[in-house]
């Protein structure tokens, strides 16, 4: 009786013999290549007509991604109110945050001169949003870089009706589009102010709150008093003008991603037309489908993302965004900043937006250990395919060793002493 | 796998050379698989063409979760199954299968004569198609069982069972023959 191993060897040998006889002919090669490449050309012809709207769609999406990323972060602050030895109380400081009808603010995601900036004008349940300082230096494709540089985009969000009016101007072309923003899409487009409101509203009603008085310091020429609230997943600092008690700067960190809200003005008189859902003169209505990634509840989202997603994200980052090199640094803020360039690049190349979904999932996986886990990154200067260099490592919960991702994107278990210094 | 992803990336960016490279790299393996599964060279060539045409069209939407070779092998298996369904190819037509090489001897492999190869081909042809497919995808194309299960959208245990039953049946049909072939080889040496 033959054993299974022998049978397997036999079949393998049979396959080898079969393969040696299975040779295509030159005629067949020519026929197949011609048919395939012709089909490819036809596909590209049909796709090129759709490329332009796709640019808008992904650009708009990437903005949503940025905000959605903030929404993903779980907020559970175990704090409460207490009397503070200050002339300005915490309750006074958070009052306008909770109750102002109009708010103008800028917020910066990430750090350094190339941090992404968002500008919100909030009037009731509507927001007028623009963004600036998209990092273009890493976009090698000049056409993509040019599109990013010259595009002007404004979003008017009606959170009550869950609708969004998007206004895009690229040169003389001006396009307007209405879209519904339901469910998680709505969550992803809320103002960063809502995020802060959510935190402080929990704080104000919690009798066990632990709020630290940070004392005074000068911010942009104003004397400010600070309050610091530490929760399991978010550290929130609010600086308020000592005389008016109005917040002038709010800082919070989600993992390694910091956000700073600044240039805040509360209850300033604003023209309602700023958040009008009417299409302005000069804009042409276009039916542009906006793809909003379903962002499940934080726990689900975090548990769904896998190491494989992170590896794919790194591949996309290196292959598509940086033409074969890994980024100098990595983290949620870096992911977010590169989402827009990725969107443009995918659009200009006619590639599917599913790459953005994959890219985002990698970011979500990274957030798992950004929140207090042990991890590191050493991809600066490493090229995709470099099998000898570890670019990223993290320690799974309960593990004594680390999972290390190499430049060729393979993953291996590595002891701490073997990690890059 | 990384090289394949780079080739795919280049092809997506307009490099027809990258596509030719992919084609040249896998054409014979895939043709061999198609012939093994269909026992019909003409049908196998049709399958090869259909798979590469489809691959060229869908390259942009393709998100590889396995190796490109595994992906293409799965496409071949699916295409052959379609062709078989349409043409009702059920009989073994040994004379239509490719010529059998007898001059290859690789380390850790058996030397195989035309007669032996024909016997195995006959035994393989007696297997239900789904068992044959799993065996070839694993032993011919090197796909992992998990990859096969995912590509066929079935449970891993289902694939393992098909493989195990298939090998069991082959063992039953080829019982004793392998040893006799080994003996023949030793006497020739």
Taking the Cβ of residue A319 and every Cβ of chain B, the question of whether any pair is shorter than 8 Å is answered with yes
Say what the pTM is.
Answer: 0.42
| Domain assignments of chain B as residue spans, ordered by start | 1-90, 106-189
Which of A19, A39, A308 comes nearest B56 by C-beta?
A39
Q: How far apart are CA A153 and CA A11, in angstroms?
A: 61
Interface of A with B in 334-373 (CB under 8 A): 349-352, 354-355, 358
A101 burial via Cβ count (<10 Å: 0-12, 13-18, 19+): exposed
- CA-CA-CA-CA torsion sign (A8, A12, A17, A19): positive
Which of B31, B63, B110 comes nearest A13 by C-beta?
B110
Residues of B in contact with A1 (CB under 8 A): 171, 175-176
- Which ipTM score applies to this complex? 0.75
Minimal Cα–Cα distance from B7 to chain A, Å?
11
Report CB contact under 8 Å: A32, B48.
yes
A41 forms bridges with which residues in the sheet?
Answer: none
Q: How far apart are CA B188 and CA A289, in angstroms?
A: 72
Q: How far apart are CA A269 and CA A121, in angstroms?
A: 11
Render each residue's pLDDT in chain A as its tens digit; 421 residues.
Answer: 456 677 788 888 887 777 777 788 899 999 999 999 988 888 777 765 443 333 333 333 333 333 333 333 222 111 222 222 346 788 888 888 888 889 999 888 777 766 677 889 999 889 998 876 655 554 445 555 565 566 677 889 888 887 888 887 777 778 888 877 765 445 555 667 877 887 787 777 676 777 888 888 888 888 999 988 875 567 789 999 988 889 999 998 765 667 889 999 998 888 888 999 999 988 888 765 444 433 333 344 444 678 888 998 898 888 888 878 999 888 776 777 677 677 767 766 666 666 777 777 787 788 777 656 788 999 999 999 899 999 999 988 888 899 999 999 999 999 999 999 8
Question: How confident is the model over A309-361, as pLDDT tens digits?
Answer: 899 889 888 888 887 899 988 877 677 767 767 776 776 666 666 677 777 77
A169 burial via Cβ count (<10 Å: 0-12, 13-18, 19+): middle
Q: How far apart are CA A396 and CA A409, in angstroms?
A: 18
Q: How far apart are CA A303 and CA B114, in angstroms?
A: 55
Q: Which of B142, B162, B45, B62 is nearest to A11 (CA)?
A: B142
What is the model's pLDDT at position A402? 92
- DSSP 8-state code for residue A274: G
CB neighbour list of residue B92: distance below 8 Å, 6 or more residues apart = B39, B121, B122, B125
Q: Which of B38, B29, B35, B34 is nearest to B67 (CA)?
A: B29
Q: What are the structure tokens assigned to A124, written together?
A: 């009731």
Taking the Cβ of residue A14 and every Cβ of chain B, the question of whether any pair is shorter than 8 Å is answered with yes
Which of B55, B59, B135 comes nearest A11 by C-beta?
B135
Q: Phi and psi dihedrals of A164, rounded to 5?
A: -135, 135
Question: How confident is the model over A222-265, as pLDDT tens digits?
Answer: 899 998 887 556 778 999 998 888 999 999 876 566 788 999 99
Residues of A in contact with B102 (CB under 8 A): 17
What is the model's pLDDT at position A290? 46
| Domain assignments of chain A as residue spans, ordered by start | 51-285, 298-418
Q: Which of A262, A204, A222 is nearest to A238 (CA)?
A: A262
Q: Which fold has domain B1-90?
A: Rna Polymerase Sigma Factor; Chain: A (1.10.1740)
Q: Which fold has domain A51-285?
A: outer membrane lipoprotein receptor (LolB), chain A (2.50.20)
Strands A163-170 and A173-180: antiparallel
CATH no. for B106-189:
1.10.10.10
Question: How confident is the model over B120-136, as pLDDT tens digits?
Answer: 888 888 888 888 899 98
DSSP state string for A69-84: HHHHS-----------
């Amino acid at each position: 009786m033959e054993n299974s191993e022998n049978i397997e060897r036999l079949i393998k040998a049979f396959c080898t013999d079969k393969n040696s006889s299975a040779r295509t002919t030159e005629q067949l090669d020519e026929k197949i290549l011609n048919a395939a490449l012709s089909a490819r050309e036809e596909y590209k012809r049909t796709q090129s007509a759709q490329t332009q709207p796709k640019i808008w769609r992904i650009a708009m999406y990437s903005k949503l991604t940025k905000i959605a990323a903030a929404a993903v972060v779980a907020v559970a602050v175990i704090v409460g109110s207490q009397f503070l030895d200050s002339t300005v109380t915490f309750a006074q400081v958070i009052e306008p945050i909770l109750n102002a009808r109009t708010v103008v603010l800028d917020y910066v995601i990430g750090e350094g001169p190339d941090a992404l900036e968002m500008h919100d004008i909030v009037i009731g349940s509507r927001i007028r949003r623009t963004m600036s300082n998209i990092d273009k230096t890493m976009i090698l494709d000049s056409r993509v870089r040019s599109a990013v540089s010259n595009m002007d985009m404004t979003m008017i969000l009606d959170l009550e009706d869950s609708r969004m009016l998007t206004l895009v101007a690229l040169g003389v072309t001006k396009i307007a589009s209405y879209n519904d923003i339901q469910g998680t899409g709505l969550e992803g487009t809320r103002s960063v102010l809502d995020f802060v409101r959510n935190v402080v509203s929990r704080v104000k009603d919690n009798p066990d709150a632990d709020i630290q008085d940070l004392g005074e310091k000068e911010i942009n020429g104003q004397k400010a008093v600070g309050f610091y609230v530490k929760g399991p997943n978010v550290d929130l600092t609010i600086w308020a003008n000592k005389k008016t008690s109005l917040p002038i700067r709010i800082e919070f960190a989600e993992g390694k991603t910091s956000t700073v809200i600044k240039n805040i003005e509360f209850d300033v008189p604003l023209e309602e037309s700023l958040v009008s859902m009417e299409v302005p003169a000069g804009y042409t209505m276009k039916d542009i489908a906006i793809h909003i990634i379903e962002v499940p509840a934080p726990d689900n989202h975090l548990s769904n993302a896998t190491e494989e997603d992170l590896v794919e994200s790194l591949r996309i980052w290196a292959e598509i965004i940086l033409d074969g090199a890994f980024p100098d640094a990595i983290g949620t803020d870096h992911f977010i900043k590169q989402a827009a360039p990725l969107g443009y690049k995918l659009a200009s190349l006619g590639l599917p937006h599913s790459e953005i979904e994959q890219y985002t999932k990698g970011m979500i996986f990274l957030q798992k250990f950004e929140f207090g886990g042990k991890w590191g990154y050493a991809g600066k200067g490493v090229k995709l395919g470099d099998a000898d260099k570890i670019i990223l490592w993290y320690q799974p919960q309960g593990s004594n060793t680390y999972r290390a991702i190499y430049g060729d994107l393979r993953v291996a278990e590595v002891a701490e002493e073997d990690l890059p210094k | 796998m990384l090289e394949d992803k780079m080739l795919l990336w280049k092809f997506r960016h307009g490099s027809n050379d990258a596509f030719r490279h992919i084609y040249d790299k896998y054409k014979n393996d895939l043709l061999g698989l198609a012939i093994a599964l269909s026992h019909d060279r003409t049908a196998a060539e049709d399958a090869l063409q259909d798979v590469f045409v489809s691959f060229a069209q869908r390259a942009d939407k393709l998100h590889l979760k396995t190796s490109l070779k595994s992906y293409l092998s799965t496409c071949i298996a699916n295409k052959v199954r379609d062709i078989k369904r349409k043409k009702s190819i059920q009989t073994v037509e040994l004379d239509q299968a490719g010529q059998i090489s007898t001059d290859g001897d690789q380390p850790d492999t058996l030397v195989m004569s035309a007669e032996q190869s024909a016997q195995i081909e006959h035994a393989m042809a007696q297997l239900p198609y789904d068992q044959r497919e799993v065996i070839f995808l694993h032993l011919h194309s090197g796909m992992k069982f998990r990859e096969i299960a995912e590509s066929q959208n079935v449970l891993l245990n289902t694939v393992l069972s098909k493989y195990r039953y298939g090998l069991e049946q082959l063992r039953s049909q080829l019982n004793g023959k392998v040893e006799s072939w080994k003996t023949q080889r030793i006497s020739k040496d």
